[in-house]
């Protein structure tokens, strides 16, 4: 309402005020719709990220493979908790899923009130912190999964995927959901920053 | 709202809020600010230190200029650990004086793909930080360019994510090298390769420091976008 009043009074005065009037017009009529669209996209991306993260955590958390035979050198049972990095992965994904679910109301508030600035800043801060967390967890477990697939000749680390193939498939597949959630979070931070710059 | 005051406000190229409460206040402070801004570029030509003409009392971009200066300083601070981590990992090469039948007797960063990725990512981030220094300097001189700030924020975010991924992967391998894993029969190689282990552990720590500074840069950029 105040924006509209400023537009009408400033367009009355001469040609020198055209540029500022034009920017004010763009700011109040189209800017509201554009940032509202950004907030809707934000909400949709958050829901997508929740689904990806929960799927990833469940896929990793329910890994349990017991080999029908056993040798002297290798244990015959593999779980995600045997590798501490994969435990970190499950924990970080659970934290991310909880955070995303809790931040959906805040995103809805942004759709309703497009002028909220402090809450967008808080959202950017929390989003980037969780982005760092999930990137670290996903990347560390990607390194471990790569090691499990290929092994390392120099360090004499044996590739365990040759025995535990179903366990290996599961942990490799659950990385995909986590990396997708990481890309979505990155996009969310950039969207929030773009919406903040539109004011 | 006085009609005589409005064209005087508009002729000064300062993009202020559209709220009406700010406009009458801006008229009174805008005219002395215009008078102060005119001698300020003239004073910058005179042989003086760069910082002094910009932090005058009448300069109402002072807050954003402070933030942009802090941004510039932090970029230089982040460049150091990134470059150090890249160099330390790149020159890690240890050959044992004794060799056994079971272990190979030489360790380089090439042997671990995670360390290769780590070194490359650190080199990329160090190069990016150097290349973004002029843009940050431009932001100190002209704090009202929002597009440049947004571009720097986007690139900072991408580089921070890349560096976090690389540092986390290297940290996983370093942790495995220190502790080994009983279940998978992976032996801790740090018992043999002391120097290699210390060097890579130190560069992982330095790289995480760079990540923290980059995240702080992102927060700072979004704060100064909001402030405008």
Q: Which residue of A has its CA nearest to B176?
A: A144
Burial of B202 by CB count in 10 Å (0-12 exposed, 13-18 middle, 19+ buried)?
middle
What value does the mean pLDDT take over residues B156-177?
Answer: 94
| Summary mean pLDDT of chain B | 78
Q: Which of A71-85, B7-21, B141-155, B195-209 has the highest mean pLDDT?
A: B195-209
Residue A5 pLDDT greater than 60, yes or no:
no
A196 vs A4, more confident: A196
Query: Which residues 93-132 of B have a C-beta within 8 angstroms of A?
Result: 102-104, 106-107, 111-114
Question: Quick check: A137 pLDDT over 80?
Answer: yes
E strand map for B73-138: 93-95, 106-108
Torsions phi, psi for A40 (to 5 deg): -65, -45
Task: Name the phi and psi angles at A157, rounded to 5.
Answer: -100, 120
Q: What is the mean pLDDT of chain A?
A: 80
Chain A's closest residue to B211, CA to CA, is A132
List Cα–Cα distances, A174 to A65, A138, A155, in angstroms.
Answer: 16, 10, 27
Task: Give me the phi and psi of A79, to 5 degrees please.
Answer: -135, 170
What tokens appear for B59 in the block?
């300069």
Q: Does an H or E element contain A172, and which?
A: helix A165-197
Between A27 and A174, whose confidence is greater?
Answer: A174
Rounded-to-5 percentages of helix, strand, coil across chain A:
75, 5, 20
Residues B212, B159: Cα–Cα separation, whole Å: 12
Q: H or E element: which one contains A138?
A: helix A118-150
**Angle B214-B216-B222 (CA atoms, 0-180°, nearest 5)?**
105
Q: What percent of chain A has pLDDT over 70?
A: 79
A14 — pLDDT class (breaks 50, 70, 90): very low
A78 interface with B at CB cutoff 8 Å: yes
d(Cα A31, Cα A24) in Å, to the nearest integer? 10
Contact B168 A137 (CB under 8 A): yes
Helices first, then strands: H and E counts in chain B: 8, 2
Is A136–B164 a contact, with Cβ atoms under 8 angstroms apart?
yes
pLDDT number for residue A153: 79
Quickly tell me which residue has 């000749």 as its tokens. Answer: A153
* Minimal Cβ distance to B165: which of A3, A24, A135: A135
Averaged pLDDT, B130-148: 89
Q: What is the mean pLDDT of residues A81-108?
A: 91
CATH fold for domain A34-66+75-198: 1.20.120
- Distance, in Å, from the CA atom of A57 to the CA atom of A50, rounded to the nearest integer, reads 11
Per DSSP, the three-state class of B132 is coil
Q: Is B226's Cβ below 8 Å from some Cβ in A?
A: yes
Residue B8 reports pLDDT greater than 80: no
List of residues 6+ apart from B115 with CB closer than 8 A: B89, B92, B109, B170, B173, B200
Tell me what the mean pLDDT of segment B70-74 comes to: 93
Q: How far apart are CA B147 and CA B128, in angstroms?
A: 18
User: Phi then psi for A162, rounded to 5 degrees?
Assistant: -70, -25
Is the pLDDT assigned to residue A16 strictly greater than 80?
no
| Stretch among A7-11, A55-59, B165-169 having the lowest mean pLDDT | A7-11
From B192, which residue of chain A is nearest by alpha-carbon distance?
Answer: A155
First-to-last alpha carbon distance for chain A, in angstroms, is: 15
| pLDDT-wise least confident of A14-18, A57-61, A138-142, B127-131 | A14-18
| B54 or A17, greater pLDDT | B54
Contact A121 B223 (CB under 8 A): yes
pLDDT average, residue stretch A21-42: 65
Cα B153 from Cα A193, distance rounded (Å): 8
Angle of helix A18-25 relative to helix A2-10, nearest 10 degrees, comes to 160
Contact B219 A16 (CB under 8 A): no
- Of A19 and B62, the structure prediction assigns the larger pLDDT to B62
Distance of CA A44 to the CA centre of its chain: 12
Q: CA nearest A155: which of B40, B16, B109?
A: B109
pLDDT digits (tens, 9 = 90+) for B12-40: 555 555 544 444 444 444 444 444 444 44
A174 within 8 A of A56, measured Cβ to Cβ:
yes
Among A19, A77, A89, A140, the strongest candidate for a mutation testing the B interface, having the largest count of B CBs within 10 A, is A140
Q: How far apart are CA A13 and CA B219, in angstroms?
A: 40
Residue with tokens 């950029």: B221
Strands A77-79 and B93-95: unpaired
């Amino acid at each position: 309402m105040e924006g509209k009043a400023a537009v009408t009074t400033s367009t009355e005065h001469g040609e020198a005020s055209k540029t500022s009037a034009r920017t004010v017009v763009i700011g109040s009529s189209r800017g509201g719709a554009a940032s509202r669209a950004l907030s809707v996209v934000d909400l949709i991306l958050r829901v997508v990220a929740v689904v990806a993260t929960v799927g990833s955590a469940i896929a990793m958390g329910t890994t349990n493979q017991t080999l029908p035979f056993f040798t002297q050198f290798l244990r015959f049972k593999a779980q995600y908790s045997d590798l501490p990095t994969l435990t970190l992965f499950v924990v970080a994904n659970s934290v991310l899923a909880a955070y995303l679910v809790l931040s959906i109301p805040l995103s809805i508030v942004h759709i309703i009130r497009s002028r909220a600035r402090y809450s967008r800043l808080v959202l950017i801060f929390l989003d980037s912190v969780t982005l760092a967390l999930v990137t670290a967890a996903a990347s560390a477990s990607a390194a471990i999964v790569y090691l499990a697939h290929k092994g390392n000749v120099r360090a004499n680390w044996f590739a365990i995927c040759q025995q535990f193939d179903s366990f290996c498939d599961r942990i490799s597949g659950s990385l995909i959901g986590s990396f997708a959630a990481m890309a979505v979070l990155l996009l969310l931070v950039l969207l929030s920053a773009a919406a903040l710059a539109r004011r | 709202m006085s009609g005589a005051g409005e064209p005087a406000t508009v002729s000064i190229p300062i993009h202020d809020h559209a709220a009406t409460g700010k406009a009458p206040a801006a008229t009174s402070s805008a005219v002395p600010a215009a008078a102060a801004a005119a001698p300020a570029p003239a004073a910058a030509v005179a042989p003086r230190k760069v910082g002094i003409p910009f932090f005058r009392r009448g300069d109402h971009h002072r807050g954003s200029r402070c933030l942009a200066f802090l941004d510039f300083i932090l970029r230089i601070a982040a460049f150091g650990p990134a470059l150090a981590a890249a160099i330390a990992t790149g020159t890690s090469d240890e050959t044992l004086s004794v060799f056994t039948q079971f272990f190979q007797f030489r360790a380089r960063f090439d042997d671990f793909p995670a360390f290769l990725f780590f070194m490359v990512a650190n080199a990329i981030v160090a190069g990016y930080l150097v290349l973004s220094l002029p843009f940050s300097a431009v932001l100190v001189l002209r704090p009202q360019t929002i597009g440049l700030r947004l571009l720097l924020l986007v690139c900072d975010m991408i580089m921070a994510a890349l560096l976090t991924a690389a540092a986390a992967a290297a940290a996983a391998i370093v942790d495995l090298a220190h502790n080994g894993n009983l279940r998978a029969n992976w032996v801790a190689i740090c018992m043999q390769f002391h120097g290699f282990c210390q060097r890579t552990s130190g560069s992982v720590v330095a790289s995480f420091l760079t990540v923290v500074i980059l995240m702080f840069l992102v927060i700072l950029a979004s704060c100064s976008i909001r402030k405008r």
